[in-house]
Amino acid sequence: MPSHRISDVATLLGVSDDTVRRWIDQSQVEAAKDDAGRLRIDGASLARFLTDQQRARPGLEDGSGVQSARNHIQGIVTAVTSDAVMSQVDLIARSSRIVSLISTEAVRDLGLEVGSIAVAQVKATNVSIELPLTR
Domains, in order of start, for the chain? 3-43 (1.10.1660.10), 72-121 (2.40.50.100)
Phi, psi of 90 (to 5 degrees): -100, 135
Q: What is the 3-state secondary structure (H, E, C) of 3-53?
A: EEEHHHHHHHHCCCHHHHHHHHHCCCCCEEECCCCCEEEEHHHHHHHHHHH
Contact 58, 69 (CB under 8 A): no
CA dihedral 10, 16, 18, 20 (to 10 degrees): -30
More confident residue, 12 or 27: 27
pTM (2 d.p.)? 0.60
Looking at residue 68, its amino acid is S
What is the DSSP code string of 84-116?
SSEEEEEEEETTEEEEEEEEHHHHHHHT--TT-
Average pLDDT, the chain: 83
More confident residue, 128 or 37: 37
Please, which pLDDT band fits residue 129 given cuts at 50, 70 and 90? low
pLDDT for the residue numbered 69: 47
More confident residue, 93 or 29: 29
pLDDT value at 37 more than 80: yes
pLDDT for the residue numbered 127: 58
CA dihedral 77, 59, 16, 71 (to 10 degrees): 60
At 125, is the secondary structure helix, strand, or coil? coil
Per-residue pLDDT tens digits for 50-82: 888 877 765 444 443 444 445 778 889 999 999
